[in-house]
Structures are given as structure tokens and as C-alpha cells.
Amino acid sequence: MSQLSEAISEKDHIQGSIDSPVILVEYGDYQCSVCKMTLPIIKQLQKEIGEKMCFTFRHFPLKALHPHAFEAAKAAEAAALQNKFWEMHQLLFAHQYDLSHQIYSKLATELNLDSEKFNNDFSSSAIEEKVQNQFMAGVRSGVNGIPCFYINGKRFDGDASYNRIKEILTKEIDKSKIIDEN
């Protein structure tokens, strides 16, 4: 079982507390249809598990299979610089089959982003480097396909269904309770 090579930090986009008993990391890209299918699963888990779970999404654009994935990741990061990562994240998956430079600008407008800043950030080497760094961290962690999940630093392989992921997360929460009691 592979280990996460880079722990989550303030560099990541985080939903929940980094001190939660369960940290779920997903490597994915915005053109991956299976990644899109996991979106409602993650939302439901967040709703049910609440503050006991922390979630982060990291970019792993498979450029050879998904020619717009890298650019979409840049759009998400440009939106992040205006505090709209998660909103752009949702919209990119919603428009998965329309991804292009024109759609990124349209989505930025829909999110009321400063369009000049968005376009400048989208084109910046810093954004490109951030996406590339997340990809390379995934490679070092053993990501070889997407979506790829890590639960408390350990790679989760197998059925990425709601029931299976919830089962693993619940076991991790139960383990943390035992540790807290000792």
C-alpha cells in the first residue's frame, strides 16, 4: 500500500479541519468521468461525517488522455487566488464536456471573479508550477490512475463506492477514538 508523499498543508485546498480524525485526499482531473462521479459521494460523506473528516483535492491531470485537464486545473487555481476554488471545482466538473479557454472565462464571470486578474493568474508560471508540483507529488505517492484516494496518508485501492469509502472512514474514526481514550 502506497503512502502519501506530501502531507496536506496550507498549500492545499481544504474542506474541514486538518486536525480531523480522518483526512481524505483525492488526486484527480476535471476531464475524468469517474472523478466527476465521485463528487456526489464526497459531498454525501462530508454531510454525514461532518467535522470528523477533512477533504482535499489535488490535481493529477492526465494530459495524454484528457487534453483539457491541465488547463482546467489552472482555471481552478486561478479562481483559488480569488477564494473561489471549490466553486470553480464544482463548475468545472459540471461543464466537463465543454472544457476550453472560453468556458474558463465564462465560469470566472459566473463566479463574479475579477476577469483581468483571473486571466493573468491563469497564464502565470506560478499557477502552472503549482499544478505540476501536485502532479509530481502524486507520482511520488504512487498515483498511477485517477481518481486516487488516500485516507490518513494510506492509499485506498479498490471499490470507490460510497459504502466502501464510508466503511474505511468509519474504521479510521473508530481507531482515533481508541487512541484518544488511551
Dihedral sign computed on CA atoms, order 129, 16, 47, 156: positive
Q: What is the pLDDT of residue 1?
A: 54
> What are the domain boundaries of the chain?
14-177
Q: What is the pLDDT of residue 2?
A: 85
pLDDT computed for residue 161 by the predictor: 87
pTM of the predicted protein model: 0.93
What does DSSP assign to residue 96? Answer: G
CATH 3.40.140.10: does it fit domain 14-177? no
For cell 498511477, name the residue. 144
Predicted confidence at residue 182, as pLDDT, reads 45
Exposed / middle / buried, residue 153 (Cβ in 10 Å: 0-12, 13-18, 19+): middle
CA end-to-end span of the chain: 27
Q: Nearest-5° angle of CA 29, CA 31, CA 36?
A: 75
Determine the angle formed by the axes of helices 162-181 and 33-49, rounding to 10 degrees: 40
Cβ contact 73:182 at 8 Å = no
Are residues 20 and 49 in contact, defined by beta-carbon separation less than 8 angstroms? no
Q: Which residue stretches of the chain have pLDDT < 70?
A: 1, 177-182
Name the strands in the sheet holding 148-151, side by side, starting at the edge strand that comes first in the sequence.
14-15, 53-59, 22-28, 148-151, 154-156
